[in-house]
Structure 1
Amino acid sequence: MSANKKVFVLGMARSGYEAAKLLVSKGYEVIVNDANTEQNLEQMKELQSLGVSIVLGSHPDDLIDNTFEMIVKNPGISNNHKYIEKACKLNIPVINELELAFRYFPQGVKIIGITGTNGKTTTTTIIYEILKKAAVDAFLMGNIGYPVCSFVSQLKDNDIALMEVSDHQLCNVIEFKTNISVLTNISEAHLDFHGSYDIYKSMKKRIFNHHTKSDMAILNLDDKEVLDLTKDIKSTKKYFSFSSSNKLGCTITDGYIYYNNDKIISLDEVKIKGKHNYENVMAAIAVVKELGIENQVITDLLKTFGGVEHRIEYVKTINNIDFYNDSKATNIKSTQTALSSFTKPTILLLGGLDRGHSFDSLKEYLSNVKLIVAFGEAKIRIEDFAKKCGIPCNLVNSLGEATEIAYNSASEGDVVLLSPACAAWDQFKDFEVRGNLFKEYINNLEAK
């Protein structure tokens, strides 16, 4: 990249802020634009003190012209945005914060990228915790909440960059390449953003971009979509699977997890339970074993690791009613996974941004659900779905109301589960805000 050129950063948030700082440090003139006027004032002041121009509240038609060397786009902004379409007409490259950071990484950094429809946060976190326990320096970054640009100045040769990578982030990568890529699973998600399932899958496949035989792909052998998608990639492939016939990676046999026929740990000793979590554990083991981590370190961590916040997270028990926060379930597959984890009578809180997706594939997972409480934009369609399933449904306007009704409708021994199957953006900044508020509402119930 040449110096003394202009770069347009579309979208502020954490990634836009970090991208702008990195660009300024590399000698660029930077303009940041965001339609949202509610921004972090300290971050804005810092950027302005560095000479960054900030335009908030709208997207003026004349703000983009051919004087820009590139656009760095927030991953959450669609490629159908008018600025992106104009950039294409003007032959201005459009990248994102992940791609920008990668271009400034030291040559010898080892990059581990984890993607998939579900399980990527848990898998990434387990890998990180094992490496930390083994005293291996690794930097945790990406979709897990830490912009990649913020680590560029800290990285040096031979460091490990461990990234959770979303399909949104993979939309605008060009040169980005990992050394080890994990694909946990594939199912329909974010179709409103991508336009079709085929496009969504093609984005996920980019985690293997520029791979050769010297790079590794760690794949879910039990997921046909994964196998079909990756049949022509050039990576060296290793697998994780519940099939004991899998000899190229991680497998479960007679209640034990093995890696390359080496017994690692008993499932009884793994603290997090459920088929989905065992898949995440196997994927993580496959990565850390390739990095040379000893079995004892792995087992010590897995005996104590309790899971990830907002992902089937146990909150507390009130009057023998168990509350679980699964706010990270922003798609149907995630909610299927959550419902499969419980055998007790369950009150399910469903709702959020209405992307038009069908809830019908939840039907076979509702055998233990005694009541659905629907909230958010999608609540009317959820009510219709509940009627078709013959399950009582209460409609409410807010998550606070939903929590209170769920509690008042529950009996001793029941589970109250927030697993919305919808994004949070209709009422909340993100799923973390939604999940934290849910936990706050639960604590308020206990105080009553």
Structure 2
Amino acid sequence: MIENKKIFILGMARSGYEVAKLLSKYNNDILITDMKEQDPNHVKELEELGVKYIVSEQPEYMLDASYDYVIKNPGIRKDHKCVLMALELGIPVINEVEVAYFFFPKDITIIGITGSNGKTTTTTLIYEILKEANLPVYLGGNIGFPVASLVEKVKNGDILVLEISDHQLVDMYDFKTNISVLTNLSEVHIDFHGTYEKYKSMKKKIFNHHKSNNLAILNYDNEDVMDLTKDISSNKKYFSIKEEVDCYIKDGSIYNDGKVINLNDIKIKGMHNYENIMCAIMVCKEFNVSNEIINKVLTEFKGVEHRIEYVTNIKGREFYNDAKSTNTESTIIALKSFDKPVVLLLGGLDRGHSFDPMDEYMHNVKKVICYGETKERIKKWCDSINVSCDIVDSLKEATLKAYQISKEGDVILLSPACASWDQFKDFEKRGEEFKKVISTLKD
């Protein structure tokens, strides 16, 4: 528990707001800073709780040795001037998840899900199945519900299902799960971490403090996962679409200690989703959830918003929202889901990553429409592989153009392969904008 301390919160957003609210109840002296103006209702609420709020592009000038902790927003890099100054002053730099962990009761079960792709779908499925089984379960983490917001709800005996990103793992030290899931690994977020090796080392922290009575659920088909986890202390269980391990696919069904479900009965399709489902099955089996309950959820589950989400059909054109796609790996997964002609909307924040990994998956793409910071690089890449590409300035223009040039039977797919922050607050806002523009086409 953190009380009677002087706290410097770097970056507000959802996590900063929730952790400030939590800490204000324990006689802490709190300053929260952000480079941008925040929700005025949130600011007013915090100020009424005694939290000082300052908008500043140079927060390091407000930091000194009198502070006991710096709590950093996960999106802020480790080389930020304020972070470097805190470390130089010997001030611990942690994040909202780590803070929440200090306050949780001891007799709870924490399930942590991480990976390059599939985290949100896997996390949601685990939560939905456990909830259907009438177990005392809460959902949080990178999925949109800050962990700090759960502290006053959770009691002994409860289960927490938490999506944990590599950005969050950077500033987590004491946090420990009972069950950790690593869905897969691929070369993403290199701009944030500097190298793939550093990125993988952050992912490995999901197994911190594990002993043989803690469970790790791992992707047997992913070489990097297998290599990274060879020396962890956890009890390891594996899922595979290729080999008969703990959970596997055979003759059109998923098996885990016997047949669990037929693939034809599952609403969401694609091998990537079957991997996510196997993770969820393995976790839920640890709580003795029946196949009947698992089947009920999987036959009704339609997927997660902004993840290859079916939006609508207008004059024979199917619209899919994959706004969560922030890297080429996730866009490849989306492209592999369709065997119809695709008009692909690409673009966003320029992290300098290559689009070359997508080359062999572009055969169904009849047109790329690109926008945002990366548009010129995307156009150059498309020209190099002889894929037709048009440049526009905004996602709205891209959506309207896609509808204009498409034909009946086409798929219009937003799967940007880039982060959203050049034009949007987050990927949710990007997806909402896409769907808003689509709604105008119906009128």
The equivalent position to 2:413 in structure 1, one of 417, 434, 437, is: 417
Q: What does 1:31-46 correspond to in 2, within 5 Å?
A: 31-37=31-37, 39-46=38-45
1:15 is matched with: 15
Looking at structure 2, the residues matched to 300 and 5 of structure 1 have their Cα atoms a distance apart, in angstroms, of 48
Question: Aligned residue for 2:166?
Answer: 167
Is 2:90 the partner of 1:91? yes
The structure-2 alpha-carbon separation of the partners of 1:271 and 1:60, relative to structure 1 and needing over 3 Å to count, comes to: closer
1:256 alignment counterpart? 253
Q: How does 1:285-304 map to 2 (within 5 A)?
A: 285-304=281-300
Number of residue pairs aligned between Structure 1 and Structure 2: 443
Counterparts of 1:272-287 in structure 2, within 5 Å, are 272-287=268-283
- Partner of 2:108 in structure 1? 109
Contact 2:3 2:23 in 1 (8 A): no
- Secondary structure of the residue that 1:348 maps to in structure 2? strand
Q: Which amino acid letter does the alignment assign opposite residue 139 of structure 2?
A: L
Question: Where does residue 6 of structure 2 map in the other structure?
Answer: 6
How much does 1:3 deviate?
Answer: 3.4
CA distance in 2: counterparts of 1:2 and 1:342, whole angstroms: 50
- Residue in 1 that maps onto 2:146: 147
- TM-score, with structure 2 as normaliser: 0.99
Secondary structure in structure 2 of the residue aligned to 1:75: coil
Q: Which residues of 2 match residues 26-425 of structure 1 at below 5 A? A: 26-37=26-37, 39-246=38-245, 249-260=246-257, 262-425=258-421
**C-alpha separation in 2, matches of 1:60 and 1:69:** 16
Aligned partners of 1:66, 1:182: CA distance in 2, in Å? Answer: 38
Q: Are the equivalent residues in 1 in contact too, given 2:2–2:26 (CA < 8 A)?
A: no
Q: Which runs of 5+ in 2 are unaligned?
A: none
Aligned-pair distance for 1:345? Answer: 0.7
- In the aligned structure 2, how far is the partner of 1:2 from the partner of 1:263? 47
Contact residue 240 and residue 250 of structure 1 kept, 8 A: yes
Q: Is residue 114–residue 163 contact of structure 2 (8 Å, CA) maintained in 1?
A: yes
Amino acid at match of 1:276: H
Q: Deviations along 1:357-410, whole A, 9 cap, x unmatched? A: 000110100000010001000000000000011011100001111011111111
Q: Which runs of 5+ in 1 are unaligned?
A: none
TM-superposed CA distance for 1:244, in Å, is 4.2
Contact map agreement 1:9 1:31 (CA 8 A) in 2: yes
Kept in 1: contact 2:32–2:51 (CA 8 A): yes
Tell me the CA shift for residue 27 of structure 1: 1.7
User: 1:244–1:253: 8 Å Cα contact kept in structure 2?
Assistant: no
Conservation of the 8 A alpha-carbon contact between 2:319 and 2:412? yes
CA RMSD of aligned residues (A): 0.9
Q: Aligned-pair distance for 1:21?
A: 1.2
The amino acid across from 2:351 in the alignment is: R
Determine the C-alpha separation between the residues in 1 that align with 2:312 and 2:105. 45
Deviations 1:162-184 (A, max 9, x none): 10000000000010000000000
TM-score (norm 1): 0.98
CA, structure 1 residues 230+60, in 2 after alignment: closer, same or farther (shift >3 Å)?
A: closer
Separation of aligned partners in 2, 1:194 and 1:127? 29
Counterpart position of 1:443:
439
Query: Distance in 2 between the 1:408 and 1:169 partners?
Result: 41
Q: Secondary structure in 2 aligned to 1:226?
A: helix
Say if 1:186 and 1:223, in contact at 8 Å, map to a contact too. Answer: yes
